[in-house]
Amino acid sequence: MNEKKLSARTRTKMGKGPAKALRQEGRLPAVMYNGEGKSTMVDIDALEFSKLFATITESTIIDVSLDGAKDVLAFVKDVQYDIIKDQVKHVDLYVVEAGKILRTKIQVKLSGAPVGVRQGGVLEHGTKEIEVECLPRNLPEKAIVDVSNLELNHSLHVKDIVLPEGVKILSDKEKTIATIRMAK
């Protein structure tokens, strides 16, 4: 697991006015939710989050330092984005417990140049994410599938994905990940 870090501080004021003031300071209003549905209002450095946001996926675990004292593990659950100003307006984080098994989806990325494409076929990408279950420390950011040996009229399925030990695939094992079809 490639851990990313983010610092946050607790905030007490809510509403549009305080949120606008935070953004003017270069901070983002955010909320951290735990497994029991309780929330903690925090704010994070906008620049620090922008750099981090460009490198993470939905399944990236972030080490959040709260008020410089308490460290928690969290996912970015949701982001409110202003497309006109091209900036993040608000962030929702979901806190995970280190020893508790979690269920989430991870992206499936294809790598390699398939043999079947060199023979005139076309690579079709099937399912783009799979559901997995594991401890947070075992969670991969994405599943990388090598399609180099894929020939014409052959497919790779979810059952062909090799993930680290301790990660259980919950998605349908017969779902297609990649297929090489003849170009018409």
User: Letter for the amino acid at 26?
Assistant: G
Tell which residue, 180, 60, 63, has the closest CA to residue 121.
180
The pair of three-digit structure tokens given for residue 129, joined into one six-digit string: 């994410």
Give the pLDDT band of residue 3 (cuts 50, 70, 90).
low
pTM: 0.70
18: three-class secondary structure by DSSP: helix
Joined tokens for residue 16: 């549009």
Q: Which CATH number fits domain 102-182: 1.10.10.10, 3.30.70.20, 2.170.120.20, 3.40.640.10?
A: 2.170.120.20
Residue 1 has pLDDT above 60, yes or no: no
Domain ranges of the chain: 4-96, 102-182
User: How does pLDDT run across 24-77, given as a tens digit for each residue?
Assistant: 898 999 999 887 778 889 999 988 888 888 888 777 888 888 887 778 888 888
Tell me: pLDDT of 179 over 70: yes
CATH architecture of 4-96: Beta Barrel (2.40)
Distance CA 143, CA 92 (A): 25
Count CB atoms within 10 A of the CB of residue 129. 16
Q: Tokens 């549009």 identify what position? A: 16
Sign, CA dihedral 47-48-50-51, equals: positive
In this prediction, residues 132-150 reach a mean pLDDT of: 89
